[in-house]
Amino acid sequence: MAKISPFKAIRPVRDKVHLVATRPYYTYKENVLKAKLEDNPFTFLHIINPEFGEKKKTEPNSPERFALVSDAYHDFIDREILLQDTEPCLYLYRQTKDGHEYMGVVGGASVEEYQNDSIKKHEATLTSREEMFTNYLNIVGYNAEPVLLSYLDVQNQIDPLMYNKVKERPEYEYTTTDMVKHELWIFDQEEIEAITHAFEQLDALYICDGHHRSASSAGLKKWREDKGLGHFPNEDYFLAFFLSERRLHILEFNRLIKSMGELTEDELIHQLSENFDVETMHVGDKPAEEHEITMCVRGNWFKLTCKESIIDHTHPVKCLDAEILTSHVLQPILGISDLKTDDNIEFISGKTDIRETEAKIRSGQFDIGFFLHPIDIDEIKRVADNQMIMPPKSTWVEPKLRSGLTIYNINE
């Protein structure tokens, strides 16, 4: 059983939605972020960056900074840039990008189901980040960016409801400058009841993106209870985008090594040969299949095929290429023991063109690049079902969702 809750979304007015909704601020380069804040008075980025242009600034992630975010948010409401729906609703959102159609339902996901593992996780969260996000939510009082949850609709009840809805004219329809089309429909009460019933037939939900956001939302209720702050109307749910797993687009994260130290290319190949069949590649490319890793060493390309002795097919994590690379190459050969903190490694998403990455290696910016085959949803589910954790930066999942399109008000 999976719960999905209607809610009264706070949304941009129709004539400004294309100006308000935005990618998360951390996805923008500094110069692009600055230009957007200077040129667009309606962007949600002004709420997230309330001190733009001010000489005196509060400390990042401080209660004082969060209070300013809250003030900016309420200013957008006071100026009627954002309005709240009068009745609880579910929303159909469709994002079309590079030929992929990401169509799913925006609604509230259950904190209770998160806590009892009906909403399943595959990524560890950092306590410090959880605490920071929980404090943020308590002060600002809203979720602005949905957690991405996937589901398997064995009975095929949800798709027909969505395809019937898209026959209607959407509430929002616009294309952003990154060539992504966004559409939003509002389900009526009869449709909400049908969708709610269809979700009740699902066995489980899986977090695909937003582990820290979901953890902090789930932790907020207990935190408020512990502080004696009482209950708030919408604290039992958090903002989520429910997407069929067959619509997900899962890419890999590749690894770039800044320096191989005193190790020569021949020495590296010799050590790799113990656990991999190493072949020279005349033209660099990504791996064609699982348990192949391609490697660019100062411009020279090699294919590494895992020997059967290092693949533990019985273990949900140890059989993953990202873990094999860490356990048999990064740690023992290159001395990278902690992927989260080591300055000698960087991660680059699979959406980045391989020739662009190769150019960085040939220029001397990096010594080595390791390229992985993407993990599929069944592997993610196997890890989550066994309550295990995937290696850091194992997946880059599309779609990436917009902030400020449908805001979940925790307090009202």
- CATH code (residue 275): 3.30.1760.10
Strand partners, 97: 100
As for how many domains the chain has, the answer is 2
| pLDDT number for residue 270 | 97
Q: Identify the pLDDT of residue 55.
A: 82
In the block, residue with structure tokens 């969702």: 401
Residues 256, 242, single domain; the answer is: no
In what helix (H) or strand (E) does residue 64 lie, and over which residues does it extend? helix 63-78
Check the CA dihedral 72-73-76-77 and report its sign: negative
Work out whether strand 237-244 and strand 147-151 pair parallel, antiparallel, or are unpaired. Answer: parallel
Q: What is the dihedral of CA 306, 312, 314, 316, to 10 degrees?
A: -80
User: Do 171 and 139 share a structural domain?
Assistant: yes
Per-residue confidence (pLDDT) for residue 54, from 0 to 100: 86
Element (H, E) at 396: strand 395-398
Residues 81, 151 within the same domain: yes
Instruction: Name which of 113, 105, 137, 106 is nearest 216 in CA terms.
Output: 137
User: Strand, coil or helix: what is 18?
Assistant: helix
The pLDDT value recorded for residue 226 is: 84
Interatomic CA distance for residues 182 and 384, integer angstroms: 30
Which residues make Cβ contacts (< 8 Å) with residue 48, sequence separation at least 6?
A: 25, 69, 403
Residue 346's DSSP bridge partners are 256
For residue 189, what pLDDT is reported? 97
Q: Are residues 109 and 12 in the same domain?
A: yes
Going by the DSSP 8-state scheme, the letter that residue 317 receives in this structure is T
CA dist., res. 264 & res. 326, Å (int): 20
Q: Are residues 286 and 151 in the same domain?
A: no
Report the distance separating Cα 14 and Cα 281, nearest Å.
53
pLDDT for the residue numbered 188: 97
Work out whether strand 205-209 and strand 119-120 pair parallel, antiparallel, or are unpaired: parallel
Residues 6+ apart with CB under 8 A from 19: 12, 40, 42, 43
Residue 218 confidence (pLDDT): 87
The set of long-range contacts for 69-77, using a CB threshold of 8 Å and a minimum separation of 24, is 69/136, 69/139, 69/140, 70/139, 70/140, 70/141, 72/46, 72/47, 73/47, 73/140, 73/142, 76/20, 76/46, 76/47, 77/10
Spatial separation of the C-alpha atoms in residues 246 and 352, rounded to whole Å? 23
Regarding whether 284 and 241 lie in a shared domain, the answer is: no
Is there a single domain that holds both residue 199 and residue 155? yes
Measured CA to CA, the distance from residue 6 to residue 346 in angstroms comes to 40
Same domain? 222 vs 293: no
In a shared domain, residues 80 and 195:
yes
Are residues 129 and 255 both part of a single domain?
A: no
**Which residues of the chain have a pLDDT value below 70?**
none
Name 369's bridge partners. 256, 296
**Are both 351 and 227 inside the same structural domain?**
no
Residue 11: the pLDDT is: 98
Does 258 lie in the same domain as 149?
no
Residue 12 vs residues 20, 188, 322, 380, 400: alpha-carbon distances, Å:
7, 19, 41, 35, 19
Distance of CA 22 to the CA centre of its chain: 15
Domain hosting 118: range is 4-249+398-409
Q: What is the structure's pLDDT at 379? A: 97
